[in-house]
Amino acid sequence: MLKGSMPALVTPFKNGEVDYDTLKSLVEWHIGEGSHGLVPVGTTGESPTLTHEEHEEVVETVVRAVAGRVPVIAGAGSNNTLEAIRFMQHAHAVGADAALVVTPYYNKPTQRGLIAHFTALHDCCELPIVIYNIPGRSAVDMSPDTMGELAKLPRIIGVKDATGDLDRVCRQRMTCGKDFIQISGEDATAHGFNAQGGKGCISVTANVAPKLCSQMQEATLMGDYGTALDIQDRLMPLHKAIFTEPGLVGAKYAMSQLGLCSEEVRSPLVGLTDETRAKVNDALRFAGLMN
C-alpha cells in the first residue's frame, strides 16, 4: 500500500539540461533517508517545462534507480486525455507502481468530463491511478461524489488531496470507502490530514528534509501524534519559507544549500529573491539541517 512520506521529486538541471546523474544520486539519498516512495515528474518535477521525451526518461531513470525498493508513482497527468494515455502507458511499460494523474487544468471539464477522462486512463493499461485534486492550480475541483464514482473502478486506488480542506478526508471516506488511499498534497496540514484518516503525504518539503518528513509520517501512522507534532513544529517554518515563492524553486534553493543539486529552474520560473533566500536559510537552521 502507498503510505508515508513520498517526495514529489525535483528534476535537477545542469546548464539547461536534465542532470540524470544527480537525479540518480537523489534517489539513493531519499531511500537512505527513509522516504517511503518517490513521485517523479509532478509539478514539483517541472513537468510543464519538460519535453515529452524528458518526462519519459525521468520516469524510467527513477524506476531503474529505485529497483523495486520503494514504490514509484509516476506523474502522468495532462489536460489532453490522449497525451495522458501516452504517459500512463509509458509509465506502465517501464515498471512504475502507480500513476499520479492531475485533474485536467485550464480547459475546466465538468464532473462528467472528469469521469470520462479518468475512466479512459483507467482503461488504457493496468497501472493503478492516484487522482491528484488541486483546484488552486487546475481550476477544477473533483467533488467527493465524483471521486466516489471513480473509486468503483478497480485501478483507481487513491487521491493526492491538495485542497487544504481537512473536512474532505472524512467526506471522501464516506463516498470512496475506508480502503481508498488518501494522501495529503499539502505539507502544512499533513499532520492533521492523517488524523482524519489519511495515510501519507506527497511532499515538497521532503525533497529537503526527507528524514524528518518520514519520521513525522511514521509517528502519525503509529498513532503517536505528540511526537509527530514536535517534528511538524520543526518543519513548519521550512514549509512556509519554501512556499514563499513557487515551492519547487524554494525546494531547489534549499537543496542547493545542502549540496544536493543545483538551484537551476526553467523559465518562466526564476530564482528566489534575496529576501526569500534568507527565509529559507533561517528555516533550514531552525529545522537543524544547516549550521
Residues with catalytic function: 132, 160
Closest Cα to residue 44, out of 185, 210, 231?
A: 185
Q: What sign results for the dihedral spanned by CA atoms 26, 32, 33, 34?
A: positive
Closest Cα to residue 101, out of 93, 91, 111?
A: 91
How do strand 17-18 and strand 13-14 relate by DSSP bridges?
antiparallel
